[in-house]
Amino acid sequence: MKKRIISIIVLVFPSMLLHSQSKADLGIALGAGYYMGDINPTIPFYSPGIDLGITFRHNLNMRHVLKFEANYVRLRASDADFIDDYQQRRNASFATPAFDFALQFEFNFLPLKFAPRKVSFSPFISSGAALDFATRSQVKSLMVSWPIAIGVRTTLGRYWSLGIQWNYRKLFNDRIDGVENEVPATMKSRWHNNDWFSFANLFVTYKVFTTKQECPAYKKE
């Protein structure tokens, strides 16, 4: 499964660059991320770490976007931060940088149009497939994850767009924190026992590969 996802990213991303023309946006993102798992099961934005990212978006039309994102997220957690007696005895902790690469399809609920002196906005959702790489105590892990994002994006004239989004990564293993879920094997759930991490960021993009003749979806009104 990992090889298949790597092949999809390697094949699809260059084709997005070659065929983008004036439909492509390149941008950067800045935000904060956090981990949820055996050490932190419930608290959003517990011990947040920096998130830095780049994004490449191919606007198929005013509602549909194919996007590639790469993010660096700093994750950490410690049992010492929680008052639970079991966690205090276990005293587990970890800190790791996570490198995230995701290919997603994005749907805008309202049409987004790039045009001179025009501003449009829309909430959106997106999902697809992702690969994540983390190093914890010299242990390197390559993990497949399921990306989910919700957010709002606005266009600012003909070339710029601005947005904010909240990203989730559902990992398909329980290795990022180094803590084994201590329940009998017969009771383990592949869905609920695995780790998550999440990051929220603000992103700005600029339209690249512009041509003199715009796609009809982006012509002036």
* pLDDT, tens digit (0-9, with 9 covering 90-100), for 95-105: 999 999 999 99
Per-residue pLDDT, averaged over 174-201, amounts to: 71
Q: What is the mean pLDDT of residues 23-32?
A: 95
Mean pLDDT of the chain: 84
The rounded distance, in Å, linking the Cα atoms of 138 and 23 is 42
DSSP class per residue in 52-85? EEEEEEEESSSSEEEEEEEEEEEEEEEGGGS--H
pLDDT tens, 117-157?
Answer: 888 999 999 999 999 998 876 778 888 999 999 999 999 98
Contact (Cβ atoms closer than 8 angstroms) between residue 198 and residue 169: yes
Q: Which residue has the higher pLDDT, 106 or 208?
A: 106
The answer to whether residue 2 scores a pLDDT higher than 70 is no
Domains along the chain? 2-218 (2.40.160.20)
Residue 212 clears pLDDT 60, i.e. is over it = no
Q: How confident is the model at residue 57 (pLDDT cuts 50, 70, 90)?
A: very high
DSSP H or E stretch at residue 3? helix 2-18
Report how far residue 48's alpha carbon sits from residue 110's, in angstroms, rounded to the nearest whole number: 32
Beta-ladder partners of 164: 152, 202
The length of the chain is 221
Residue 192 in this model has a pLDDT that exceeds 60: no
- Is the per-residue pLDDT at 14 higher than 80? no
Bridge partners, residue 206, by sequence: 26, 160
pLDDT for 15 equals 53
Query: What percent of the chain has a predicted confidence (pLDDT) above 90?
Result: 61
- Residue pair 176/197 in contact by the 8 Å Cβ criterion: yes
Q: Is the model's pLDDT at 90 over the cut of 80?
A: yes
pLDDT over 60 at 82, yes or no: yes
**Which of the four pLDDT bands, split at 50, 70 and 90, describes residue 181?**
low
**Cα–Cα distance for residue pair 151/176, rounded to 1 Å:** 26
Q: What is the pLDDT of residue 209?
A: 72
